[in-house]
Structure 1
């Protein structure tokens, strides 16, 4: 990376693509010259690690402010993607190695669509950095650890060139007191984190047997079932089969599963609704049932689900 000499340097790593300018969003906080840990670090019950914090739309402005002091690495993921949790754990370990000279912010892309759109990201997992309120794209997917470490080292050099050389105290990992978690939910979470999706399905089914209206278990069950289906897929082969067999129910549902797991929610919904529009009887009902399952995975409050429900209703009636 070469030093930047313009009056208002644009952060850039040679391998980065598609940068967007968030400087306007950060403008209100750019004048702050002193770091205040209590005011600048977004605190959340979901934090873990020494310099890792969960971020949502309400705390995003604080992340932009914090980026005037240290680089902020933002990891966009989804609990529906098998690799998101593993990537965040790797990033947290690498970021902790810089001992406060960089902070990791994790974002649930499903629940924070406005942040995702601000960075013009089309798929997750994806990782970007923010320096002085400006984005620096890093990578999509899950590169090897050595490649990630190299990119972080480049980021630190870029921060030095732009005068962003602060250090922040560790983010506390202590969680506030909360209601005890359902042991079956906890067991399912552990199974999901370890990639044991069949085990997670078993635990969620037990939770639903005890409490049929357990919304968290309903969503968790459908997410575990989705991840179990896609975990053994060859994505390239599945997509090729989907393109070659537009009238195959199994082929179209498999591609839709991959799309939802990869964050391409609207593509998945559109694919299944198009299939429903041109097929009938048992195939139509099977496609509808899978679509409803995917609605549960994404969440009833998601506007993409609301829009797809309306399209489905028009298709069916």
Structure 2
């Protein structure tokens, strides 16, 4: 079986979060066995006040080798390099988002691994900006204790092409897992406000929508080779809850080890423009790793790119 994530990049920022990222990256590399793992750190000298840069010019002197050695020392403590996996370290100057974008593309990276912190006010890279900008898949590692296992993968789906890609990625990951891993596909539907004009009650119309969703689900799954992986499905109307809360509630109930979601849904126009649910998940603090799936090979027109800004 070909390796679907051959080249992985792990973004570190020299904070306490690095330990969690390195530990999960180690687990991930041991599971999927990429060809190479790049560890990257961006030095942004502009973060220092101009007064300090002028008074202490040594702050801007090249520190690549020192920081690179610090990365290596930290990685040696928390990242166990699998056999036949090459490991490289990169320290580059510039804004973190620009550095990660440039070098993930230059290295033809298939998967970017970053930390997902509780987002508050202030500067820095937000999950939304990062996922909109980067062209490859992005895996967010939460800032909390977690089990290093893959037994349950949850995939919210609207039966779009990106949902299909998400399920295919989930299957490949499940096949690589050392644990017996199953996939839970979740579909959330919305009953239109004008349902009463049909003469049916809310519950009657809801049942019709769920039956239709189950038919669409069967068609959706027909085009996917499950390769023997157990796949379950659940259907839920969003009445009284936000979609993200429904996704999160199921993740907690299933004790999901990983959530996979497409970068956009049926209403999107470009993979760089996140679907509403995906972007909402980015804003909410999720307690389990979250993989946002993109298709690097897909080409877009000028209007698609403009809409992603």
Q: TM-score range by the shorter chain?
A: under 0.3
TM score, norm. by length of structure 1: 0.23
TM score, norm. by length of structure 2: 0.23
Bigger helix share: 1
Bigger strand share: 2
